[in-house]
Amino acid sequence: MRLYRHPIAAALLAVTAAAASPGAYALSYVMMEDEALLAQAEGVARVRVVAVLPSRDGDQETRYRVEIEAALTGAAPGRERILVLPGTFSAPNLNRIVPGVPKLIEGQTYLLFFSERGDGALQAQQLSLGVFGRVPGDTPTYVRYLDEESEVAPSSDKRIYHAARDAAKFERWIADTAKGRAREPDYFIALPEADQAKFTFQSFGFSTPGPGRFFQFDNDQTMSWTALPGGQTGATFDVYNALAQALAAWTNDAGSRILMSYTGTAAQAAYANNACSNASATACFTGFVKWNDPENEITGSFDCNSGGVLGIGGSSAFSSTGTVSGMTWYRRANAFVVVQDNAACSMNSGNGANGAELLAHEIGHSIAFGHSCGDSSSGTCQSGTAAALAIMKASLHGNGRGATLGSDDQAGAAIVYPAPGGSQNIGPTLSAASPASGSTTPMASGSVGATVSSNITFSVSGGSGSGTTTLTCAVASGTVQIASGTPQTISVGGSAAPVVARFTLSSSAQTGVINCTATPQGGSVASFSYTFTAAAGTSTGGGSCTSGVFFRSGFETGENTCR
């Protein structure tokens, strides 16, 4: 877990120290070939940043005035344009952090793969994948700083696209390819690592850069997360259950005090319309997930074959500070995750486990945490070490582990969000009450089209402190449906609402299986499985009416009176 550098923490924990500044890095991507990036972009231009326009509190993006020095394709040279990138850096009191998105430097030259939005502003195609910094020298180069972002399932055949590019050769290749004269790339160059690090993007920070955290957890407040209705297009798993599992992974860590829960769908974030006016406002202590990048914050789309950005996550931060564990922290607000459109093909792997892992990783970034290893700041991942097994590793595991924290994640959480007095928050234990786990339960009979239901109930016992247990249920097979009761969070001393299973009766017999998982904070995960059956529904009438008869009465009694 990469946290703010502190000599005591570094001595006690096998973690790499750094934190919200520089950056709380949280952009996940699948590397693209340059030809695929060029095909998606509306144009490519070499631009110089003339000015970084000032940001106001509550702004969602930074605006740059850029001069187009050379138009390789799709732009007119010599013009000044406005370039926008999500997130802000210079607002006086409240900045929106979009980790992994760079702050461009006035006077610096960049190679920009862009698209133009409706108001005429330019946007970087695939965010950081579409921005290259120009490094001057005897042989000028273009480099793209991606070390502090998360690559999903790194591909050995695309590793070359992390390399520096000979600036003149890269520009010629782009111009030739855009004109239909495609050829193999001839511009990659191997630079010493120190040279590649010459060009780096400025990360988020106020006048004094520093880390950020949510102070409300210290008072046992629970952060409510909502998500857009409709889910992720193309997902073959329940994305809302995956979100609940991702939040539970952090909440159920017994050695820290992080309390988050999924509370349902919402059309917009609680902090929309400037509802987050100061660090103590209720609306500031919320999280929001946007499926399918509805506002095109990630320009372009994820492509299942060529790759791209999968999602971004982060938060805002106020300039006011507080002290915890001997360190000064900015006050975070407005946690968010944006999932790119077309990303489901990557998230579906492992029956949705990869989606749950992605969400847990991005949520970790949004509440404080950087990478445990795998980028230039945290160092190389050594196989088998705690850092390499962490969910905050720079490359997502993608091996079906789902939303599971490692010991390094837990060590970092204990520093940023320590449990009070070293106390243990243990979630209550859930046991199957009725029906028994593994049993088969027939539902009541009825007429075709009627709805029949049966409750799954749990007994709750034990737990300590402010521990919670997250219960999630999903249909594993068949035509059974879940009407209500999932996901839910049960506190110590609380009770579990019944999970309602139901069938809509048809002319055929039906069966279905529902699997449930109880994940207690600081405890062992418990799994339950229930099979339900329903007989074929009965006919509502006693026969058909003769030709020319338009109405039949007696539906309630089963009579067959024709008129």
Read off the pLDDT of residues 472-527 as tens digits, 9 standing for 90 and up.
999 999 999 999 999 999 988 899 999 999 999 999 999 999 999 888 877 778 88
Q: What angle do CA 315, 316, 322 make, to 5 degrees?
A: 105
- Mean pLDDT on 145-157: 55
Q: What is the pLDDT of residue 125?
A: 92
Q: Which residue has the higher pLDDT, 396 or 205?
A: 396
Measured distance CA(254)–CA(419) in Å, rounded? 8
Give yes or no for residue 199 having a pLDDT over 50: no
Give yes or no for residue 195 having a pLDDT over 70: no
Q: What is the pLDDT of residue 151?
A: 57
CATH class given for the domain over 429-534:
mainly beta
Q: What is the pLDDT of residue 146?
A: 63
SS3 category, 127: helix
Measured distance CA(302)–CA(32) in Å, rounded? 10
Contact 388, 348 (CB under 8 A): no
Pair of tokens at residue 249: 């992974």
Packing angle between helix 353-367 and helix 239-251, nearest 10 degrees?
A: 50
Q: What is the pLDDT of residue 6?
A: 25
- Mean pLDDT on 65-87: 88
Q: Which residue has the higher pLDDT, 19 or 166?
A: 166
Q: Which residue has the higher pLDDT, 314 or 285?
A: 285
Give the lowest-confidence range in 123-132, 289-298, 545-554.
545-554
Give yes or no for residue 205 having a pLDDT over 70: no
Q: What is the pLDDT of residue 358?
A: 93
Pair of tokens at residue 484: 């209500």
Give yes or no for residue 562 having a pLDDT over 50: no
pLDDT band at 534 (very low <50, low <70, confident <90, very high): very high
Q: What is the pLDDT of residue 478?
A: 95
Pair of tokens at residue 182: 């495609």
Closest CA to 494 of 470, 525, 513, 527: 470
Q: What is the pLDDT of residue 515?
A: 93
Measured distance CA(83)–CA(329) in Å, rounded? 31
Q: Quick check: pTM over 0.75? A: no
- Mean pLDDT on 82-103: 81
Q: Does domain 7-23+208-422 have CATH number 3.30.450.40?
A: no
Measured distance CA(292)–CA(302) in Å, rounded? 10
Residues 6+ apart with CB under 8 A from 44: 38, 72, 73, 74, 75, 111, 112, 113, 114, 174, 178
Q: What is the pLDDT of residue 559?
A: 41
Delimit the domains of the chain by residue range: 7-23+208-422, 27-196, 429-534
The listed range with the strongest mean pLDDT (139-148, 240-249, 329-338, 518-527) is 240-249
Give yes or no for residue 453 having a pLDDT over 50: yes
Give the lowest-confidence range in 86-95, 309-318, 425-434, 536-545.
536-545
Give the lowest-confidence range in 114-128, 413-427, 491-505.
413-427
Give the lowest-confidence range in 96-105, 291-300, 316-325, 405-414.
96-105
pLDDT band at 365 (very low <50, low <70, confident <90, very high): confident
Q: What is the pLDDT of residue 248?
A: 93
- Mean pLDDT on 290-298: 93
**What is the biggest distance separating any 2 CA atoms in the chain, rounded to whole angstroms?**
96
Q: What is the pLDDT of residue 555?
A: 36
Give yes or no for residue 192 having a pLDDT over 90: no
Closest CA to 99 of 195, 29, 169: 29
Give the lowest-confidence range in 70-74, 94-98, 119-123.
94-98
Determine phi and psi for 290, rounding to 5 degrees.
-110, 115
pLDDT band at 541 (very low <50, low <70, confident <90, very high): low
Give yes or no for residue 214 having a pLDDT over 80: yes
Q: What is the pLDDT of residue 308?
A: 84
pLDDT band at 182 (very low <50, low <70, confident <90, very high): confident
Q: What is the pLDDT of residue 379?
A: 67
Q: What is the pLDDT of residue 376?
A: 59
Q: Quick check: bond before 487 cis, omega within 30? A: yes
Q: What is the percentage of the chain residues whose pLDDT exceeds 90?
A: 43
- Mean pLDDT on 94-110: 81
Give yes or no for residue 17 having a pLDDT over 60: no
pLDDT band at 152 (very low <50, low <70, confident <90, very high): low
Q: What is the pLDDT of residue 557?
A: 38
- 15 CB neighbour count, 10 Å cutoff: 26
Contact 458, 530 (CB under 8 A): no
Q: What is the pLDDT of residue 156?
A: 52
Give yes or no for residue 155 having a pLDDT over 70: no
Decide whether 7-23+208-422 matches 429-534 in CATH topology.
Answer: no
- Mean pLDDT on 78-90: 86
